[in-house]
Every structure is written in structure tokens, then in C-alpha cells.
Structure 1
Amino acid sequence: MPEKKKFTKDVLKIKEPEVLVDSICNKLREDIFHRFRRRGAVVGISGGIDSSVTLAIAVRAFGAEKVLGVLLPEHDSSLTVKILHWNSRILLIRLLLKKISAKH
């Protein structure tokens, strides 16, 4: 059995980010288009870094015309919605706004 590497902050160091992103995009295209036979992606966007990076990778992998961004703001996030709307215009994706918080 191979020896496991010790979990340290060094796992966050990416030596060749472009190569890694290309690899992720290739895997996404293969899985989505061929394995699952889908035409694109729907990405839930909260305004955080995780969903923003996921959205950018999806656009790179599939093309903007095959990505739908679903904004999921809470009741107090009007600035977040404005920023996400602006980012969606840069990435040229379609947006759907769905409020997820309960009315108070």
C-alpha cells in the first residue's frame, strides 16, 4: 500500500495552475458531454470564492453559452447580487435569480 503524504499547508501550493485548470476542464467536458450526455452546466452562485471559481471554470470548460448561473442571495445581500450580476456580464452567462431566505 502506498504511503500517504502528510497533510500540511503545502497541499495548497499549485506549481502549474494553468495545467491543473486545463485538466479539470478536460475532465468536466468528458464527464458532462460524454458520460452524462448533458449539454452544459447550471452553477449555483452565492457570491463566495468557491462558487465564483466554479463558475469561471465551468465557463472555461463549456463556453458561456452552455452555462446558467443561478444567483442564490440571502435577504441582506443586495450588494452581492449586484456584484454577481456584474460578473455574469463579464463572463457572458445567463442568470436566474432565486431568493433562498425566508421572509421576516
Structure 2
Amino acid sequence: MRKQKLPEKIRKALERGELISHEEVMADFSPKEREEIHERARYLRAAMELRRTRRKLKLSQAQLARKMHVKREFLSRIESGKQNITLETLYRIAEAVGKEFKFSFK
């Protein structure tokens, strides 16, 4: 997805401290851009959950990376949403933190 400036109406609303509905924000993007935004959001939600779990267990990135036998930078990329997370990686994370990874469709 290309980086772009915020649309004028969004920028002005932010400057005024006003809220804008999700629909208003998304209306300024093409269908392809909206899909890219939603896909990126899915990765970021997974990354945030991993970070939340790691912090709840009081583990640093370096400590978790050692338990997973990976570089800390790899874990950092996962937590920032820059690294694709495979099922194998999810199972390795779960094993490293002593949890069970459950996969389900909702």
C-alpha cells in the first residue's frame, strides 16, 4: 500500500479534535486500498496480541527469542506487523511461553 497524505477532511477533523466515523475515513480510499488496509489491520491485531501475551508473561523480546531459538529482530518484526506469521511460528511461540495455540474459524 502506498503512503499518502491524510485526506483534507480527516486532517481538519483531527486538528479540531473531532471524531470521524470509520465509514467516512474509508470512503476516501479505493476498494483495493480498503482491502489492503483491512489485511494490514489483521496482521497488526495478531502482532498486538503476541506483544500483550509476552508482556503479560514478563518476558523481553530477547528472552522469548531465545526460547524460540530465533533472533530478537525476527520477533521484533513480528510484533511490529512487518513479518508474516506462519502457523509454525505461532506454534513455536505457544510452546516457548508454555501455552496452547488454538486455531478456529468464527
Q: What's the TM-score once normalised by structure 1's chain length?
A: 0.27
Q: What's the TM-score once normalised by structure 2's chain length?
A: 0.27
By percentage of residues, which structure has more helix?
A: 2
RCO comparison, higher one (Cα < 8 Å, 6+): 1
By percentage of residues, which structure has more strand?
A: 1
